[in-house]
Amino acid sequence: MTSPKFLLFTALCTPVTFEVCSSRGFTQTVFPNLLNQENEAQAMEAFTQVAKNVFNQICQESALTYLCSLHFPKCDLVTGDEEFPCFGLCEGMVQASVNQLNAKVGYS
């Protein structure tokens, strides 16, 4: 049986249908997000505008995950907690980009 607390927080979480982010594990989110976008349509439009500069770049995967965390912060269905991007995610994105760039140009 589902607990009442679970039912309470599922009302706050919204399913993510945007494939670019849902395929990266961003399946539930909450609005408004950090960028004050009120719904998925606004988040998708803004994401697309920014992400078009990222596609086919060296650090594409890390950057897209970071952008998903900004536009579609994860929402825990049990607790209702939002998971916003942290320093570790930002630092990881930068390090992945540096490593990929170094590999591409032959540095170790």
Residues 23-53 have pLDDT tens digits of 999 999 999 998 999 999 999 999 999 888 7
Whether residue 13 contacts residue 27, with contact meaning beta carbons closer than 8 Å, is answered with: no
> pLDDT at residue 54 above 80?
no
CATH number for the domain including 32? 1.10.2000.10
Look up residue 69 and give its two tokens.
Answer: 């965390």
The dihedrals phi and psi of 9, each to the nearest 5 degrees, come to -80, -25
Residue type, 102: N
Domain range for 15 is: 4-105
Query: What local confidence, expressed as pLDDT, does residue 40 receive?
Result: 96
Tally of domains in the chain: 1
Q: How far apart are CA 87 and CA 46, in angstroms?
A: 22
**H or E stretch including 91?**
helix 87-105
pLDDT band, residue 101 (cuts 50/70/90)? low
Model pLDDT, residue 10: 55
Q: What's the whole-number mean pLDDT along residues 57-75?
A: 85
Using 50, 70 and 90 to split pLDDT, how confident is the model at 95?
confident
Mean pLDDT of the chain: 80
